[in-house]
Structure 1
Protein backbone atom coordinates (compact mmCIF):
# COMPACT_ATOMS: atom_id res chain seq x y z
CA UNK A 1 0.00 0.00 0.00
CA UNK A 2 2.85 2.39 0.81
CA UNK A 3 4.45 1.69 -2.55
CA UNK A 4 1.16 2.18 -4.38
CA UNK A 5 0.74 5.57 -2.70
CA UNK A 6 4.26 6.56 -3.70
CA UNK A 7 3.72 5.54 -7.32
CA UNK A 8 0.46 7.46 -7.39
CA UNK A 9 2.26 10.58 -6.18
CA UNK A 10 4.87 10.19 -8.92
CA UNK A 11 2.09 9.91 -11.50
CA UNK A 12 0.47 13.07 -10.14
CA UNK A 13 3.76 14.94 -10.42
CA UNK A 14 4.17 13.77 -14.03
CA UNK A 15 0.68 15.06 -14.85
CA UNK A 16 1.35 18.37 -13.07
CA UNK A 17 4.52 18.83 -15.14
CA UNK A 18 2.41 18.26 -18.24
CA UNK A 19 -0.10 20.85 -17.02
CA UNK A 20 2.69 23.37 -16.47
CA UNK A 21 3.98 22.64 -19.98
CA UNK A 22 0.48 23.30 -21.34
CA UNK A 23 0.47 26.66 -19.55
CA UNK A 24 3.82 27.48 -21.14
CA UNK A 25 2.46 26.43 -24.54
CA UNK A 26 -0.51 28.75 -24.09
CA UNK A 27 1.86 31.62 -23.42
CA UNK A 28 3.93 30.70 -26.46
CA UNK A 29 0.76 30.91 -28.55
CA UNK A 30 0.09 34.35 -27.08
CA UNK A 31 3.68 35.31 -27.87
CA UNK A 32 3.10 34.35 -31.50
CA UNK A 33 -0.13 36.33 -31.55
CA UNK A 34 1.67 39.40 -30.24
CA UNK A 35 4.45 39.01 -32.78
CA UNK A 36 1.86 38.77 -35.56
CA UNK A 37 -0.29 41.71 -34.43
CA UNK A 38 1.57 43.86 -31.90
CA UNK A 39 -1.52 43.68 -29.66
CA UNK A 40 -0.47 45.11 -26.28
CA UNK A 41 -3.43 43.47 -24.54
CA UNK A 42 -2.09 40.10 -25.66
CA UNK A 43 1.33 41.09 -24.33
CA UNK A 44 -0.20 41.98 -20.97
CA UNK A 45 -2.06 38.67 -20.82
CA UNK A 46 1.19 36.84 -21.57
CA UNK A 47 2.98 38.63 -18.74
CA UNK A 48 0.15 37.85 -16.33
CA UNK A 49 0.12 34.21 -17.45
CA UNK A 50 3.77 33.87 -16.55
CA UNK A 51 2.90 34.46 -12.91
CA UNK A 52 0.89 31.21 -12.94
CA UNK A 53 3.81 29.38 -14.54
CA UNK A 54 6.20 30.67 -11.88
CA UNK A 55 3.79 29.63 -9.13
CA UNK A 56 3.48 26.13 -10.57
CA UNK A 57 7.25 25.87 -10.84
CA UNK A 58 7.69 26.81 -7.20
CA UNK A 59 4.94 24.48 -5.99
CA UNK A 60 6.19 21.47 -7.93
CA UNK A 61 9.81 22.10 -6.98
CA UNK A 62 8.88 22.16 -3.30
CA UNK A 63 6.82 19.01 -3.78
CA UNK A 64 9.79 17.21 -5.32
CA UNK A 65 12.10 18.25 -2.50
CA UNK A 66 9.53 17.12 0.04
CA UNK A 67 9.26 13.78 -1.73
CA UNK A 68 13.03 13.33 -1.66
CA UNK A 69 13.09 14.08 2.07
CA UNK A 70 10.17 11.78 2.94
CA UNK A 71 10.72 8.80 0.68
CA UNK A 72 14.45 8.77 -0.15
CA UNK A 73 13.66 7.22 -3.56
CA UNK A 74 16.27 5.08 -5.25
CA UNK A 75 17.17 4.05 -8.81
CA UNK A 76 14.47 4.85 -11.39
CA UNK A 77 12.31 6.80 -8.92
CA UNK A 78 15.22 9.06 -8.00
CA UNK A 79 16.01 9.53 -11.68
CA UNK A 80 12.41 10.57 -12.26
CA UNK A 81 12.35 13.16 -9.46
CA UNK A 82 15.71 14.67 -10.43
CA UNK A 83 14.67 14.78 -14.07
CA UNK A 84 11.42 16.52 -13.16
CA UNK A 85 13.42 19.19 -11.32
CA UNK A 86 15.51 19.74 -14.44
CA UNK A 87 12.46 19.87 -16.70
CA UNK A 88 10.75 22.37 -14.41
CA UNK A 89 13.72 24.69 -14.66
CA UNK A 90 13.73 24.45 -18.44
CA UNK A 91 9.99 25.12 -18.67
CA UNK A 92 10.38 28.19 -16.49
CA UNK A 93 13.15 29.45 -18.79
CA UNK A 94 11.01 28.94 -21.89
CA UNK A 95 8.26 30.95 -20.21
CA UNK A 96 10.69 33.76 -19.45
CA UNK A 97 11.91 33.80 -23.06
CA UNK A 98 8.34 34.26 -24.27
CA UNK A 99 8.19 37.35 -22.06
CA UNK A 100 11.29 38.81 -23.72
CA UNK A 101 9.41 38.80 -27.00
CA UNK A 102 6.22 40.46 -25.76
CA UNK A 103 8.13 43.02 -23.67
CA UNK A 104 9.23 44.60 -26.93
CA UNK A 105 5.85 46.26 -26.54
CA UNK A 106 5.25 49.36 -28.62
CA UNK A 107 8.58 48.89 -30.41
CA UNK A 108 6.83 46.10 -32.33
CA UNK A 109 5.85 48.80 -34.83
CA UNK A 110 9.52 49.34 -35.65
CA UNK A 111 10.22 45.62 -35.91
CA UNK A 112 7.40 44.90 -38.32
CA UNK A 113 8.13 47.94 -40.47
CA UNK A 114 11.18 46.15 -41.89
CA UNK A 115 9.33 43.36 -43.65
CA UNK A 116 12.28 41.20 -44.66
CA UNK A 117 13.63 40.70 -41.15
CA UNK A 118 10.14 40.61 -39.66
CA UNK A 119 9.16 37.66 -41.88
CA UNK A 120 12.25 35.80 -40.68
CA UNK A 121 11.14 36.35 -37.08
CA UNK A 122 7.65 35.04 -37.80
CA UNK A 123 9.13 31.90 -39.34
CA UNK A 124 11.48 31.45 -36.37
CA UNK A 125 8.54 31.73 -33.98
CA UNK A 126 6.70 28.95 -35.81
CA UNK A 127 9.74 26.66 -35.62
CA UNK A 128 10.42 27.41 -31.96
CA UNK A 129 6.85 26.68 -30.91
CA UNK A 130 6.77 23.52 -33.02
CA UNK A 131 9.88 22.32 -31.16
CA UNK A 132 8.24 22.93 -27.82
CA UNK A 133 5.07 21.14 -28.86
CA UNK A 134 7.09 18.11 -29.90
CA UNK A 135 8.41 17.98 -26.34
CA UNK A 136 4.86 18.33 -25.00
CA UNK A 137 3.69 15.38 -27.09
CA UNK A 138 6.71 13.32 -26.02
CA UNK A 139 6.17 14.04 -22.33
CA UNK A 140 2.43 13.37 -22.49
CA UNK A 141 2.96 9.97 -24.12
CA UNK A 142 6.37 9.26 -22.53
CA UNK A 143 7.44 8.43 -26.09
CA UNK A 144 11.13 7.60 -26.46
CA UNK A 145 11.13 7.98 -30.26
CA UNK A 146 9.73 11.51 -30.04
CA UNK A 147 12.16 12.41 -27.26
CA UNK A 148 15.08 11.01 -29.25
CA UNK A 149 14.04 12.91 -32.39
CA UNK A 150 13.81 16.14 -30.44
CA UNK A 151 17.13 15.58 -28.68
CA UNK A 152 18.84 14.95 -32.02
CA UNK A 153 17.25 17.94 -33.74
CA UNK A 154 20.21 20.15 -32.87
CA UNK A 155 20.25 23.93 -33.16
CA UNK A 156 17.37 24.13 -35.64
CA UNK A 157 17.33 27.93 -35.81
CA UNK A 158 21.04 28.56 -36.35
CA UNK A 159 20.66 29.22 -40.07
CA UNK A 160 17.63 31.44 -39.60
CA UNK A 161 19.39 33.36 -36.85
CA UNK A 162 22.45 33.87 -39.04
CA UNK A 163 20.23 35.08 -41.89
CA UNK A 164 18.45 37.45 -39.52
CA UNK A 165 21.72 39.03 -38.39
CA UNK A 166 22.89 39.33 -42.01
CA UNK A 167 19.70 41.12 -43.02
CA UNK A 168 19.70 43.38 -39.95
CA UNK A 169 23.16 44.65 -40.85
CA UNK A 170 21.72 45.91 -44.13
CA UNK A 171 18.93 47.97 -42.57
CA UNK A 172 18.95 51.67 -43.27
CA UNK A 173 17.07 54.70 -42.04
CA UNK A 174 16.65 56.67 -38.79
CA UNK A 175 14.88 53.80 -37.02
CA UNK A 176 17.16 51.03 -38.28
CA UNK A 177 19.25 50.74 -35.12
CA UNK A 178 16.26 50.55 -32.79
CA UNK A 179 14.53 48.04 -35.06
CA UNK A 180 17.68 45.93 -35.29
CA UNK A 181 18.20 45.84 -31.52
CA UNK A 182 14.62 44.78 -30.84
CA UNK A 183 14.72 42.21 -33.65
CA UNK A 184 17.91 40.73 -32.19
CA UNK A 185 16.25 40.39 -28.79
CA UNK A 186 13.29 38.58 -30.33
CA UNK A 187 15.43 36.37 -32.55
CA UNK A 188 17.70 35.30 -29.70
CA UNK A 189 14.71 34.50 -27.48
CA UNK A 190 13.12 32.35 -30.19
CA UNK A 191 16.42 30.57 -30.82
CA UNK A 192 16.75 29.76 -27.11
CA UNK A 193 13.15 28.50 -26.88
CA UNK A 194 14.00 25.91 -29.55
CA UNK A 195 17.26 25.03 -27.78
CA UNK A 196 15.60 24.58 -24.39
CA UNK A 197 12.95 22.36 -25.98
CA UNK A 198 15.70 20.09 -27.34
CA UNK A 199 17.37 20.06 -23.91
CA UNK A 200 14.12 18.88 -22.33
CA UNK A 201 13.88 16.20 -24.99
CA UNK A 202 17.37 15.02 -24.02
CA UNK A 203 16.38 14.86 -20.36
CA UNK A 204 13.23 12.89 -21.19
CA UNK A 205 15.31 10.48 -23.25
CA UNK A 206 17.59 9.95 -20.23
CA UNK A 207 14.59 9.53 -17.94
CA UNK A 208 13.11 6.82 -20.16
CA UNK A 209 16.34 4.90 -20.79
CA UNK A 210 18.53 5.54 -17.74
CA UNK A 211 21.49 5.91 -20.11
CA UNK A 212 23.75 8.55 -18.55
CA UNK A 213 25.47 9.15 -21.93
CA UNK A 214 22.35 11.00 -23.01
CA UNK A 215 23.01 13.70 -20.41
CA UNK A 216 25.79 15.19 -22.55
CA UNK A 217 23.17 16.13 -25.16
CA UNK A 218 21.61 18.55 -22.66
CA UNK A 219 24.50 20.96 -23.14
CA UNK A 220 23.66 23.71 -25.63
Structure 2
Protein backbone atom coordinates (compact mmCIF):
# COMPACT_ATOMS: atom_id res chain seq x y z
CA UNK A 1 0.00 0.00 0.00
CA UNK A 2 1.26 3.46 -0.89
CA UNK A 3 2.03 5.81 2.02
CA UNK A 4 -0.01 8.95 1.52
CA UNK A 5 0.67 12.22 3.31
CA UNK A 6 -2.28 11.48 5.61
CA UNK A 7 -1.09 8.02 6.62
CA UNK A 8 2.43 9.38 7.04
CA UNK A 9 1.22 12.13 9.38
CA UNK A 10 -0.84 9.58 11.34
CA UNK A 11 2.23 7.39 11.65
CA UNK A 12 4.33 10.33 12.87
CA UNK A 13 1.61 11.33 15.32
CA UNK A 14 1.28 7.78 16.64
CA UNK A 15 5.04 7.49 17.03
CA UNK A 16 5.16 10.85 18.84
CA UNK A 17 2.40 9.75 21.22
CA UNK A 18 4.40 6.62 21.99
CA UNK A 19 7.44 8.75 22.78
CA UNK A 20 5.42 10.94 25.14
CA UNK A 21 3.95 7.87 26.82
CA UNK A 22 7.45 6.48 27.25
CA UNK A 23 8.50 9.67 29.03
CA UNK A 24 5.60 9.25 31.46
CA UNK A 25 6.45 5.57 31.98
CA UNK A 26 10.07 6.39 32.76
CA UNK A 27 9.00 9.13 35.17
CA UNK A 28 6.67 6.74 37.01
CA UNK A 29 9.45 4.17 37.27
CA UNK A 30 11.75 6.80 38.75
CA UNK A 31 8.97 7.86 41.10
CA UNK A 32 8.47 4.29 42.27
CA UNK A 33 12.14 3.93 43.10
CA UNK A 34 12.26 7.26 44.91
CA UNK A 35 9.16 6.43 46.94
CA UNK A 36 10.81 3.17 48.02
CA UNK A 37 14.00 5.07 48.90
CA UNK A 38 12.05 7.24 51.33
CA UNK A 39 10.27 4.26 52.85
CA UNK A 40 13.50 2.27 53.24
CA UNK A 41 15.39 5.21 54.77
CA UNK A 42 12.74 5.71 57.45
CA UNK A 43 12.44 1.96 58.06
CA UNK A 44 16.21 1.78 58.48
CA UNK A 45 16.01 4.41 61.20
CA UNK A 46 13.03 2.99 63.06
CA UNK A 47 14.30 -0.62 62.87
CA UNK A 48 17.94 0.23 63.50
CA UNK A 49 18.93 -1.41 60.19
CA UNK A 50 22.23 0.12 59.03
CA UNK A 51 22.53 -2.30 56.12
CA UNK A 52 19.24 -1.08 54.69
CA UNK A 53 20.35 2.53 55.21
CA UNK A 54 23.56 1.84 53.28
CA UNK A 55 21.52 0.33 50.46
CA UNK A 56 19.47 3.54 50.26
CA UNK A 57 22.66 5.56 49.95
CA UNK A 58 24.02 3.24 47.25
CA UNK A 59 20.75 3.35 45.28
CA UNK A 60 20.92 7.13 44.99
CA UNK A 61 23.26 6.65 42.02
CA UNK A 62 20.46 4.81 40.23
CA UNK A 63 18.04 7.67 40.91
CA UNK A 64 20.56 10.15 39.50
CA UNK A 65 21.08 8.01 36.40
CA UNK A 66 17.32 7.84 35.80
CA UNK A 67 17.07 11.63 35.93
CA UNK A 68 19.92 12.04 33.45
CA UNK A 69 18.30 9.53 31.09
CA UNK A 70 14.94 11.32 31.32
CA UNK A 71 16.54 14.69 30.66
CA UNK A 72 18.26 13.28 27.59
CA UNK A 73 15.01 11.76 26.28
CA UNK A 74 13.11 15.01 26.86
CA UNK A 75 15.80 17.03 25.10
CA UNK A 76 15.65 14.65 22.14
CA UNK A 77 11.85 14.98 21.92
CA UNK A 78 12.04 18.77 22.09
CA UNK A 79 14.68 18.89 19.37
CA UNK A 80 13.04 16.39 16.99
CA UNK A 81 9.34 17.11 17.51
CA UNK A 82 9.27 20.77 18.54
CA UNK A 83 6.00 20.11 20.40
CA UNK A 84 3.42 22.81 21.02
CA UNK A 85 0.62 23.44 23.52
CA UNK A 86 -0.22 20.50 25.80
CA UNK A 87 2.51 18.27 24.36
CA UNK A 88 5.12 20.88 25.20
CA UNK A 89 3.69 21.24 28.70
CA UNK A 90 3.98 17.49 29.21
CA UNK A 91 7.66 17.41 28.25
CA UNK A 92 8.44 20.41 30.45
CA UNK A 93 6.46 18.93 33.34
CA UNK A 94 8.42 15.66 33.04
CA UNK A 95 11.73 17.55 33.15
CA UNK A 96 10.68 19.49 36.23
CA UNK A 97 9.17 16.45 37.95
CA UNK A 98 12.31 14.39 37.37
CA UNK A 99 14.34 17.13 39.04
CA UNK A 100 12.08 17.09 42.10
CA UNK A 101 12.19 13.30 42.27
CA UNK A 102 15.98 13.43 42.20
CA UNK A 103 15.89 15.90 45.09
CA UNK A 104 13.58 13.57 47.03
CA UNK A 105 16.16 10.85 46.47
CA UNK A 106 18.83 13.15 47.91
CA UNK A 107 16.69 13.77 51.01
CA UNK A 108 16.19 10.02 51.44
CA UNK A 109 19.98 9.61 51.41
CA UNK A 110 20.32 12.29 54.10
CA UNK A 111 17.82 10.41 56.26
CA UNK A 112 19.75 7.18 55.73
CA UNK A 113 23.09 8.79 56.68
CA UNK A 114 21.64 10.27 59.87
CA UNK A 115 19.99 6.93 60.64
CA UNK A 116 23.36 5.19 60.51
CA UNK A 117 24.84 7.72 62.91
CA UNK A 118 21.96 7.37 65.35
CA UNK A 119 21.97 3.58 65.26
CA UNK A 120 25.73 3.32 65.72
CA UNK A 121 25.67 5.82 68.61
CA UNK A 122 22.76 3.95 70.24
CA UNK A 123 21.27 7.19 71.53
CA UNK A 124 17.68 6.09 72.05
CA UNK A 125 14.61 6.89 70.02
CA UNK A 126 13.62 10.41 71.02
CA UNK A 127 11.64 12.00 68.19
CA UNK A 128 10.97 8.70 66.40
CA UNK A 129 7.20 9.06 66.96
CA UNK A 130 7.28 12.38 65.11
CA UNK A 131 9.44 10.88 62.36
CA UNK A 132 6.97 8.03 61.87
CA UNK A 133 3.99 10.38 61.72
CA UNK A 134 5.48 12.87 59.28
CA UNK A 135 7.13 10.19 57.13
CA UNK A 136 3.80 8.42 56.60
CA UNK A 137 2.24 11.74 55.63
CA UNK A 138 4.90 12.74 53.10
CA UNK A 139 5.08 9.26 51.58
CA UNK A 140 1.34 9.47 50.95
CA UNK A 141 1.88 12.89 49.36
CA UNK A 142 4.56 11.51 47.03
CA UNK A 143 2.37 8.56 46.08
CA UNK A 144 -0.67 10.77 45.43
CA UNK A 145 1.40 13.28 43.45
CA UNK A 146 2.71 10.53 41.19
CA UNK A 147 -0.77 9.06 40.79
CA UNK A 148 -2.18 12.47 39.89
CA UNK A 149 0.57 12.85 37.27
CA UNK A 150 -0.15 9.42 35.80
CA UNK A 151 -3.89 10.12 35.60
CA UNK A 152 -3.75 13.87 34.86
CA UNK A 153 -5.93 14.20 37.97
CA UNK A 154 -6.01 17.84 39.13
CA UNK A 155 -8.40 17.08 42.00
CA UNK A 156 -5.90 14.67 43.55
CA UNK A 157 -3.08 17.13 42.81
CA UNK A 158 -4.89 19.85 44.76
CA UNK A 159 -5.32 17.42 47.66
CA UNK A 160 -1.52 17.08 47.77
CA UNK A 161 -1.09 20.86 47.74
CA UNK A 162 -3.41 21.19 50.73
CA UNK A 163 -1.70 18.29 52.53
CA UNK A 164 1.60 20.16 52.39
CA UNK A 165 0.21 22.76 54.77
CA UNK A 166 -0.60 20.01 57.28
CA UNK A 167 2.91 18.56 57.00
CA UNK A 168 4.43 22.00 57.60
CA UNK A 169 2.30 22.33 60.73
CA UNK A 170 3.33 18.88 61.99
CA UNK A 171 6.97 19.69 61.30
CA UNK A 172 6.88 22.95 63.25
CA UNK A 173 5.15 21.24 66.19
CA UNK A 174 7.75 18.44 66.24
CA UNK A 175 10.64 20.90 66.11
CA UNK A 176 9.26 22.86 69.07
CA UNK A 177 8.91 19.69 71.11
CA UNK A 178 12.47 18.58 70.34
CA UNK A 179 13.88 22.02 71.10
CA UNK A 180 12.22 21.87 74.52
CA UNK A 181 13.68 18.43 75.14
CA UNK A 182 17.21 19.60 74.29
CA UNK A 183 16.87 22.54 76.67
CA UNK A 184 15.91 20.13 79.45
CA UNK A 185 18.69 17.61 78.82
CA UNK A 186 21.99 18.79 77.32
CA UNK A 187 23.12 15.18 76.81
CA UNK A 188 20.36 14.77 74.22
CA UNK A 189 21.53 17.63 72.00
CA UNK A 190 23.57 15.58 69.52
CA UNK A 191 21.06 12.79 68.80
CA UNK A 192 18.10 15.17 68.79
CA UNK A 193 19.87 17.38 66.25
CA UNK A 194 20.20 14.34 63.99
CA UNK A 195 16.48 13.67 64.35
CA UNK A 196 15.82 17.32 63.50
CA UNK A 197 17.82 16.94 60.30
CA UNK A 198 15.73 13.88 59.45
CA UNK A 199 12.51 15.79 60.08
CA UNK A 200 13.82 18.64 57.95
CA UNK A 201 14.52 16.18 55.13
CA UNK A 202 10.99 14.80 55.42
CA UNK A 203 9.52 18.30 55.33
CA UNK A 204 11.52 19.01 52.17
CA UNK A 205 10.20 15.79 50.62
CA UNK A 206 6.70 17.14 51.26
CA UNK A 207 7.69 20.36 49.48
CA UNK A 208 8.91 18.42 46.45
CA UNK A 209 5.71 16.35 46.39
CA UNK A 210 3.82 19.64 46.43
CA UNK A 211 5.88 20.78 43.44
CA UNK A 212 4.97 17.59 41.56
CA UNK A 213 1.29 18.28 42.20
CA UNK A 214 1.64 21.85 40.95
CA UNK A 215 3.17 20.54 37.71
CA UNK A 216 0.05 18.42 37.18
CA UNK A 217 -2.14 21.53 37.36
CA UNK A 218 0.22 23.29 34.94
CA UNK A 219 0.15 20.29 32.61
CA UNK A 220 -3.63 19.83 32.56
CA UNK A 221 -4.86 23.41 32.95
CA UNK A 222 -1.90 25.43 31.69
CA UNK A 223 -1.92 27.36 34.98
CA UNK A 224 1.07 28.20 37.16
CA UNK A 225 -0.14 28.00 40.78
CA UNK A 226 3.27 28.09 42.46
CA UNK A 227 2.64 31.41 44.20
CA UNK A 228 -1.07 31.01 44.81
CA UNK A 229 -2.51 30.71 48.32
CA UNK A 230 -3.60 27.06 48.71
CA UNK A 231 -6.79 28.26 50.44
CA UNK A 232 -7.82 29.85 47.14
CA UNK A 233 -7.35 26.64 45.16
CA UNK A 234 -10.08 24.17 44.30
CA UNK A 235 -11.45 22.58 41.14
CA UNK A 236 -13.91 25.43 40.61
CA UNK A 237 -11.23 28.11 40.85
CA UNK A 238 -9.07 26.21 38.35
CA UNK A 239 -11.99 26.02 35.95
CA UNK A 240 -12.57 29.75 36.25
CA UNK A 241 -8.88 30.52 35.71
CA UNK A 242 -8.59 28.05 32.86
Normalising by structure 1, we get a TM-score of: 0.90
CA offset digits 1:2-45 (Å, max 9, x no partner): 11111110011111101110111111121121121121110011
Contact 2:145 2:209 (8 Å CA) reproduced: yes
Contact 2:44 2:52 (8 Å CA) reproduced: yes
Contact 2:60 2:106 (8 Å CA) reproduced: yes
| Other structure's SS at 2:166 match | coil
What CA distance in whole angstroms lies between the structure 1 residues aligned with 2:46 and 2:140? 16
What CA distance in whole angstroms lies between the structure 2 residues aligned with 1:175 and 1:10? 55
What CA distance in whole angstroms lies between the structure 1 residues aligned with 2:157 and 2:169? 23
Q: Indicate whether 1:130 and 2:140 are aligned.
A: yes
CA offset digits 1:63-97 (Å, max 9, x no partner): 11111111111111111111111101010011111
**Partner in structure 1 of residue 216 of structure 2:** 204
**Partner in structure 1 of residue 16 of structure 2:** 6
What CA distance in whole angstroms lies between the structure 1 residues aligned with 2:91 and 2:123? 43
What CA distance in whole angstroms lies between the structure 1 residues aligned with 2:81 and 2:52? 43
Task: Trace 1:180-191 onto structure 2 (pairs within 5 A).
Answer: 180-191=192-203
Q: CA RMSD in A?
A: 2.1
What CA distance in whole angstroms lies between the structure 1 residues aligned with 2:121 and 2:145? 33
**Partner in structure 2 of residue 107 of structure 1:** 118
Cα offset for 1:139?
Answer: 2.1
Structure 1 residues 111 and 200: CA distance shift in structure 2, 3 A = farther
Moved more, 187-196 or 129-138: 129-138
Larger radius of gyration: 2
Contact 2:93 2:215 (8 Å CA) reproduced: yes
Moved more, 13-22 or 142-151: 142-151
2:130 aligns with one of 109, 113, 120: 120
Query: Which structure 1 segments of 5+ residues have no match?
Result: none
What CA distance in whole angstroms lies between the structure 2 residues aligned with 1:38 and 1:192? 23
Cα offset for 1:111?
Answer: 8.0
Number of residue equivalences: 217
Task: Trace 1:38-53 onto structure 2 (pairs within 5 A).
Answer: 38-53=48-63
Cα offset for 1:61?
Answer: 0.3
What CA distance in whole angstroms lies between the structure 1 residues aligned with 2:128 and 2:122? 6
